[in-house]
Structure formats: structure tokens, C-alpha cells
Amino acid sequence: MRILFCCTGTKAQPWLDGFGDAFPGAEVEVWSAGAPPADYAVVWTPPQQFMDEQTQLKGIFNIGAGVDALMKLRLPPGVPVVRLDDAGMSVQMAEYVSHAVIRHFREFDGYEADVAQGKWSYRKPRMREDFPVGVMGLGVLGERVSRALAQFDFPVMGWSRSAKSIPGVHCFSGEAGFNKFLAASRILVCLLPLTPDTDNIMCQGTLARLQPGGYVINVARGSHLVDDDLIALIDSGHLAGATLDVFRTEPLPAAHPFWRHPRITVTPHTSARTLREESIAQIAGKIAALQDGEPVAGVVDPVRGY
């Protein structure tokens, strides 16, 4: 068996060692131009040249949940693209989103500002029923986030392309349910895959449908959000603010207004990081399954783009 590792910006040796331990005797190498054909590829934002050269692959494994970068490439025909199901990311995402929701709901940002000025202040407690949370995208990460928020007694709404059923979550689906979902939400969390249908989905026309005083949390992709529309709706008072972890250009350019806006919290794409050991174990298990002719979870539908 021959496995090629082609992951931009990733320290390769620990991954090579991990796959070497999982498959003793296998050839596990970092890809370089002109490399011999491999059986499997482990990738993150690989160049088009990699795909053009590696035409005999039996599987392409993406070391993350989002595959939008891969979907922009010309892929070898008939080769399954497999994304990570979880690999430790869902609990991180649940932590991050829960923290962002609670920080806004409890007005901890306001307390932080007061303390920085030496003020000892109190705010009137808010009612959870006045802050329904809408989660866009109910895949592995979205479902985990929804369940976590429900544990804090927030009303939780969920929206997905196809119908889902999650205990404690009021689920909407499809185009028919989208505007109803937005109108039922005051805090909006984006966990959608990035596809042509979801590009710019958080724009003036959708964000304006949120309940007054709405709040936006984007932990999916920067291209889901129209930056200027978000700022305009915050400045108009319709939205109370936002917590943003992903951006159209990363790192976020120093001149971008998100850095300086008093009602926008920025974090450096750290809501859910790939955990190496868990990812290696999951990918190795799926490679073994493919070798045995067994089905695997996480195969991407190229038509849907996720």
C-alpha cells in the first residue's frame, strides 16, 4: 500500500509516523511533484497538480470536515472523497458556540468593558425564552452544537437542507422552512458546508429576518457572510453584534473593519481544530474498510458538495 500526504501548512512527520504505525510495511510519504502513483491520499488544500498526477487513487481523505477547497479542483473521476466525521472537532465546536451564546446572553462582554474602566455594575437578568438560538446546518457538528445549547435550556431551532429530527430541537428544512427558521431565531449560528447554494447566505435579506436584537455566530466559512451587510445591520441596531471565527481572507487583514468594531468579537479560526491522533485513527480505519471492500461513512456527494 502507498499513501501520500499532501496537506498545506501541516507538519507532516507526526502524520507519517501515525500512518506508518497503523499500516506497517506501507509506503507513507509526503507528496512531491512527479511522485509515483499512490493508493490513498491524505490531503488539505492540495494543488491541482497533485490531482492531475495521482490518477490511480482508491480514496482521497480530507483532514477536516469542510471539503469546499477540494470541490473547486478537478478530481480524478470515480475516486471517493472522504471527510472526517468528527475526530474530536464536535465537542470543541460545542464548547466554542456555547461560550459565544452564553457570553452574549449573560452580557459578559458588557461586564468586561465595565471592569476595564473600574466600574462595578449589574445588569437585569435576561430570560432564555427571549433568546432562541437557530443553528444552520445539522450535520455531525451542528447536531452536537444543538444538543449542547439545549442543555442550557435555550430554545433551539435547527435548519438543514433535508429533514432532520433531533430531540429538544425544533427542526426546519428546505427552502419552505428557511424563512420560518430565521424568524424564529434571535441568535444565528452558521455551521453549513460551503457550496454554491450557501455562498453569501448570511446577507442583508436573510439577517434582517432575525428577531430584533439578533446576534450572529459564524464558525463555518467566511464566504457564508456578506461582511458589509453584517456591519450595516449592527450599526442600524437590528443586530446586537457577532462572534466570528472564519473570514473570506485568513489571516484577517489588518485593515478589515471587523478588528475595530466594538460589537464584533474576532477569533483566529480556532473554534474546532483537527486533532491528529483521532484523525489518523479514523482515516486508518476507513482505509482498512475500503481495502476490504466495505462501505465507509463521510463520502462526499460531488453534486451536493458535502
Q: Which residues are catalytic?
A: 221, 269
CB distance 101 to 153 below 8 Å: no
